[in-house]
Amino acid sequence: MTNPDFKEQLRQLILRQLQTEYAQQTQAAELAHDEAISEESRPENKYDTHSQEAAYLAEGQAKLAAEIAESITHYQALALPAFSESTPLALGALVQLSSRRGDGWYFLGPRAGGLEIELPGHGSVCVLTPQSPLGRQILGQRLGAAVTLPGRGDSATISRVR
């Protein structure tokens, strides 16, 4: 992962995935909205809540689509600074953690934590946010710092930064 354009490629893959999710959620919200206002959804009696349920679903999906759109905006504006051994880690950092179980790459992003991105020829990168347990540990650290991997209790070392 020495390609200087790696982080920009990673950003573009994250944006592509978010845009796909946005399109899916927008379409689902529109379908649920159409279902809610459809003549066929008109209540047959006072206990029939089909149209109300469809309206709630449409509202929830529209909110999720708005959150994804906000994530897209954050990633489009995200600075991708280069980090060195002595630079405290912040948003835009690409970090390799090494533990006894192996190495893993993590990207500190503003949103969409947990997203797994496959970059051909480079492997998998997991997006972390500063709000996640591991993201909180990494933020502000430097190369060589130890962190605890959540859920496993294993310790890992920040072995590479970009």
Q: From CA 18, how far away is CA 71, in angstroms rounded?
A: 8
Give residue 1's pLDDT.
47
Lowest mean pLDDT among 12-26, 125-139, 144-158: 144-158
- Predicted confidence band of residue 2 (pLDDT cuts 50, 70, 90): very low
Backbone angles phi, psi at 86, to 5 degrees: -100, -5
Q: Which residues contact 118 (CB under 8 A, 6 or more apart)?
A: 13, 124
Q: Kindly report the CATH number assigned to the domain that includes residue 138.
A: 3.10.50
**Are 11 and 69 within one domain?**
yes
Note down the domain range covering 138. Answer: 94-161
- In this prediction, residues 127-155 reach a mean pLDDT of 92
Give residue 125's pLDDT.
96
Q: Read off the pLDDT of residues 34-65 as tens digits, 9 standing for 90 and up.
A: 877 777 766 666 766 777 888 888 899 999 99
Which single residue is written with the structure tokens 């949103």? 111
Domain count, the chain: 2
CB burial of 44-55 (b: ≥16 within 10 Å; e: otherwise) equals eeeeeeebeebb
Is residue 126 predicted with pLDDT exceeding 80?
Answer: yes
Domain boundary among 19, 49, 77: 77
Q: From CA 93, how far away is CA 130, in angstroms rounded?
A: 11
Residue 82 resides in a domain: no
Give residue 37's pLDDT.
76
- How many percent of the chain have pLDDT more than 90? 66
Amino acid at 46: K
Domain boundary among 23, 44, 77: 77
Is residue 94 predicted with pLDDT exceeding 60?
Answer: yes
